[in-house]
Structures are given as structure tokens and as C-alpha cells.
Amino acid sequence: MSARENIWAYCDVCRETRPVNGGELREYLISGSPHSYIDLLCSVCFNVIATISIGPPDGTPPVDPPLHLPPPEATEPEAVEDPNSPLRRVHQIELRRQRECVKASIDEIEGTGAKLPDALRDLANVVEQSDLTIWVPVAASTFTEDGQLKAACPECGRVTTFGFDKVFAYVCEGCGLGIRVQD
């Protein structure tokens, strides 16, 4: 039995760099025959990372190419927020100064005033008098489980595992929304 190899590769399923079956790969490269195949496997989830073939000495490609994964299924494109919808998803209020006036805006809704508090009050009045509903997304909280940093999406509940010690924001693979992470 050969010693474990210290070979690592990126795994699409784990979404991290993981150790792979390096000893088997080295043995295959030493004793394999031309046009034979071996799969490079993630040692954690056993996902096929790559299919490797030994070519003949003359450099010609393999006679029978390896099986390929089927193309990913077509998914519906994410719905773009309808500008005529009375619901607005808001992450921030835009603030700017124009001459002696301060403007606070959310999309096309605008409040103005001589000072910042006046502009914000005017913006709040415009929102109250309109038919719009402003939705402020909730931030996700991180937690550690099995030594890995994770966060549950506050919109759809999908748990995402990160390969980092700290995360500020991420895109949820469940609902496709950009999620801010609170400390």
C-alpha cells in the first residue's frame, strides 16, 4: 500500500480545496496503459474533480474520450424587480448635496431639505404618502458548526458554508439574493 499523497484540488461540491486520491493517481501514472482512465476524486465528498488519461508516447489524444457530465439544466432567469411594482427592496439611501440643498433618495423617490435631517424627514413623508412599500432586507448571522463558518439565508433559509474565517456578504445559491452578514 502506498503512502498518502499530499495532493490537493478544488472541489466544486465542497467549494473548497480538498485532498484528492493522490496515491492512486501516482500508481495509475506509473502502471496505467495508454488510453485508460482514472478519476481524480475529492477525499471528503468523493466528487469527481477530473478524469485523467494517459496518452500514447506519440502525443495523440485518447481514442475514446472520457464521459462528460451532462450540460447543466437551464434555469429560469432571476426576475428583475419590476419598476412599476409598489414594493422596493432597499439597501441604502442615496445622499447628495446640490448647492445649498441636501437630497435623500431611494430610486426615483426624493426628499430635500436645507440640512440632512430635513431631507430625511421629507423623504419619509414622500414614502408615507406614496403607494410604495419599502422592504429593508435582513442581514444574516454567522455561526460555527463542525469547525466551519456558516450562515442561514434570512430570505429562503438555505445554509451556506464558507471557507473563510470572516464573511461580509455573499450571494445565496437558494434564492439568488445578495445577503449582508452582520457581525
| pLDDT tens digits, one per residue of 47-100 | 888 777 777 777 776 665 555 555 656 655 555 556 666 666 676 788 998 888
> Residue 64 contacts by C-beta under 8 Å, 6 or more apart in sequence?
35
The whole-angstrom separation of Cα 77 and Cα 9 is 31
| pLDDT tens digits, one per residue of 17-33 | 888 887 788 887 788 77
Opening angle at CA 11, ends 8 and 15, nearest 5: 120
